[in-house]
């Protein structure tokens, strides 16, 4: 309890707490919102815990909905939806905050004692006379010391819900906390339980870890705690593979540096950075990693599907990994540059260069300086082509398949595609040809040749 402490609770939320009090019940704002308010961060959601039973909550608030048997009534305030939950003790959080079994209790402390971390196990009662913080496990002090600590016996907390182990890494990474050694040891001991977690829940945590400026911290933590081996053995395997002999850097460390060098607001690039070399362990022959781009693209697809990333995200990441090993020489003709753009796809060029820059930053410093120069030279030439040339895919041609049929009289069938393909190749060689009359004339010759 603290005399000076005051948390700013929105008027409507404080109003709900006051109504419950007036009706003779205990009520507090609780969990993540108290933690965030103490950290000086605007909470996303406000949750209330109360001694009132669901029926009593519903009687008090007309605009409310009780849709499950877990004690949570959703109350509409006009400004927002607030979850008002009866004090409870539960055994199994089968699905995020929805335990498989639940028993109500009269005791706030019993409710708090089954929550995951001390910083999430605090309650605040807003009131006109200044308010009251209930913090039986020292969450406030832990936040101040920047320590993440499980409530009570850490092993019990993680056995109740394996997701809490990933939440620990996520909170430690996003808030910059140290995990308390007994809590870390318990994660190590229970890491195997993470095998049962659904891909969606893993994805949710990973997205948050990937959004921090230096996400390598989170992945290193996952590895050190034994969680990476369970949720992503493909990345764990990268630790066994040397990246640059001179630097004695393994592929895992290289992947993390690459990851940190991708932009933090681009999830696709972050995932591509993290997973771009995941094909290396399978393809290492003692010196080279032949086709690790192809193998890596397939492995990344499997990993991301396992974590239930969207089809589009999976496709974009694996496409970037598939093409990340492009090479370049100054002797390339304009046509070669245009063929390169066609191969990787105009829409992927920016991302592919961003990945390659990050990849180079994660490589041997001396070797990468040279590589960087030619990468930037290719980038310049790609930019020039993008601005001057007009066709990087068949659909950019100045005539269509319909023209080949209707104007040139080629019957519907493979012949149309053959004419279009040859025209496209000619335009890649000479962009000036991409003009309707010229293409029709050329197409006539090609069709006549049969
Ligand atoms: N909680 C828990 N174990 C979980 C999930 C949640 O004990 N596996 C408890 C914590 O007290 C948490 C509260 O339920 O503070 C609300 O959970 P949730 O809204 O999922 O997370 P927050 O802690 O609010 O944080 P965030 O919104 O960033 O996920």
Residue with CA closest to ligand 1 atom 9: 115
pLDDT for the residue 1: 47
Q: CB of 118 within 8 A of CB of 144?
A: no
Give the pLDDT confidence score for residue 130 in this predicted structure: 83
Q: Which long-range contacts (CB under 8 A, 24 or more apart) does 222-226 make?
A: 222/166, 222/169, 223/252, 225/165, 225/169, 225/179, 225/184, 225/187, 225/188, 225/191, 226/187, 226/188, 226/191
- Phi, psi values for residue 446, rounded to 5°: -65, -45
Fold of the domain built from segment(s) 242-390: Hypothetical protein af1432 (1.10.3210)
The closest alpha carbon to 381, from 357, 348, 353, 356, belongs to 353
Give residue ranges with CB within 6 A of ligand 1: 31-32, 44, 93, 96-97, 115-116, 120-121, 161, 163-164, 167
Q: How many CB atoms lie within 10 A of CB 360?
A: 19
- CATH fold, domain 146-231, is Hydrophobic Seed Protein (1.10.110)
Q: Which two tokens stand for residue 281?
A: 């362990």
- Supply the pLDDT for residue 245: 57
Question: For atom 7 of ligand 1, which residue has the closest CA?
Answer: 115
Strands 178-179 and 147-148: parallel
The whole-number pLDDT of residue 246 equals 54
Q: Give me ligand 1 centre to Cα 137, in Å.
A: 16
CA distances from 224 to 184, 241, 379 (A): 9, 17, 38
Domain ranges of the chain: 11-140, 146-231, 242-390, 394-449
- Burial per residue of 4-33, b for 16 or more beta-carbon CB atoms within 10 angstroms, e otherwise: eeebebbeebbebbebbeeeebbbbbbbbb
Per-residue pLDDT of the chain (450 residues; tens, 9 = 90+): 444 788 999 999 999 999 999 999 999 999 999 999 999 999 999 999 999 999 999 999 988 998 777 889 999 998 899 999 999 987 565 554 456 678 899 999 999 999 999 999 999 999 888 899 999 999 999 999 999 999 999 999 999 999 999 999 999 999 999 999 999 999 999 999 999 999 999 999 999 999 999 999 999 999 999 999 999 999 999 998 888 655 558 999 999 999 999 999 999 999 999 999 999 999 988 888 889 999 999 999 999 999 999 999 999 999 999 999 998 999 999 999 999 999 999 999 999 999 999 998 877 655 566 666 789 999 999 999 998 877 888 899 999 999 999 999 999 999 999 999 999 999 999 999 999 999 999 999 999 987
Look at the alpha carbons of 370, 374, 380, 386 in this order and tell me if their dihedral is positive or negative: negative
CA 200 to CA 305: how far, in whole Å? 10
Of 41, 35, 46, residue with least CA distance to 140: 35
List Cα–Cα distances, 411 to 88, 153, 265, 414, in angstroms.
74, 77, 49, 9
Rounded Cα–Cα distance for residues 197 and 172 (Å):
20
User: What tokens does 56 get?
Assistant: 């009593």
pLDDT of residue 2: 47
> Could you tell me how far CA 113 lies from the centroid of its own chain?
30
For residue 94, the CA-to-ligand 1 centroid distance in Å is 13
Tell how far the Cα of 313 is from the centroid of ligand 1, in angstroms: 27
Longest pairwise C-alpha distance within the chain: 93
Q: How far apart are CA 84 and CA 398, in angstroms?
A: 62
State which fold the 11-140 domain adopts: Beta Polymerase; domain 2 (3.30.460)
Q: With a threshold of 0.75, does the pTM exceed it?
A: yes
Nearest atom in ligand 1 to 208's CA = 28
In the block, tokens 């693209």 appear at: 297
Total length of the chain: 450
How many CA atoms lie within 13 Å of 160's alpha carbon, on the beta-carbon side? 26
Q: Which among 29, 30, 32 is the best mutation to test ligand 1's pocket, defined by most ligand atoms within 8 Å of the CB?
A: 32
Cα of 120 to ligand 1 centre, how many Å?
7
The CA 245 to ligand 1 mean position distance, Å, reads 44
Q: Are 39 and 146 in contact (CB under 8 A)?
A: no
**Predicted pLDDT of residue 449:** 87
Which two tokens mark 106?
């009269």
């Amino acid at each position: 309890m603290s005399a000076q402490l005051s948390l700013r609770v929105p008027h409507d939320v404080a109003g709900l707490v006051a109504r419950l009090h007036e009706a003779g019940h205990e009520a507090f704002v609780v969990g993540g919102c108290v933690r965030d308010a103490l950290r000086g961060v605007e909470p996303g959601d406000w949750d209330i815990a109360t001694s009132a039973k669901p029926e009593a909550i519903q009687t008090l608030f007309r605009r409310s909905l009780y849709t499950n048997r877990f004690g949570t009534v959703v109350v509409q305030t006009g400004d927002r939806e607030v979850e008002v939950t009866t004090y409870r003790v539960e055994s199994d959080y089968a699905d995020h905050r929805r335990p498989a079994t639940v028993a109500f209790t009269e005791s706030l402390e019993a409710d708090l004692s089954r929550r995951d971390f001390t910083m999430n196990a605090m309650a605040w009662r807003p009131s006109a006379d200044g308010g009251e913080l209930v913090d039986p496990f020292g969450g406030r002090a832990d936040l101040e010391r920047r320590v993440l600590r499980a409530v009570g016996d850490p092993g019990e907390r993680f056995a109740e819900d394996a997701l809490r182990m990933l939440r620990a890494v996520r909170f430690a990474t996003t808030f910059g906390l140290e995990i308390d050694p007994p809590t870390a040891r318990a994660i190590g001991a229970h890491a195997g339980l993470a095998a049962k977690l659904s891909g969606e829940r893993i994805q949710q945590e990973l997205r948050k870890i990937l959004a921090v400026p230096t996400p390598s911290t989170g992945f290193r933590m996952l590895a050190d705690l034994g969680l990476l081996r369970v949720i992503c053995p493909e990345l764990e395997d990268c630790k066994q593979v040397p990246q640059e002999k001179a630097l004695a850097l393994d592929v895992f460390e290289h992947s993390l540096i690459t990851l940190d060098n991708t932009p933090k607001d681009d999830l696709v690039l972050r995932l591509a950075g993290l997973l771009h070399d995941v094909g290396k362990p399978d393809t290492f022959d003692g010196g080279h990693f032949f086709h690790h781009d192809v193998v890596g693209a397939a492995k990344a697809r499997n990993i991301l599907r396992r974590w239930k990333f969207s089809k589009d995200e999976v496709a974009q990441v694996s496409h970037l990994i598939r093409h990340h090993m492009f090479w370049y020489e100054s002797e390339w003709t304009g046509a070669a540059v245009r063929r390169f753009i066609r191969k990787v796809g105009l829409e992927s060029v920016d991302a592919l260069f961003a990945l390659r820059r990050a990849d180079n930053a994660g490589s041997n410093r001396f070797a990468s300086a040279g590589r960087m120069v030619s990468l930037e030279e290719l980038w310049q030439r790609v930019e020039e082509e993008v601005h001057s040339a007009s066709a990087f895919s068949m659909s950019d041609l100045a005539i269509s398949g319909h023209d080949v049929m209707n104007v040139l009289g080629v019957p519907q069938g493979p012949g149309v595609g053959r004419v279009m393909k040859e025209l496209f190749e000619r335009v890649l060689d000479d962009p000036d040809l991409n003009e309707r009359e010229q293409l029709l004339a050329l197409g006539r010759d090609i069709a006549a040749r049969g």
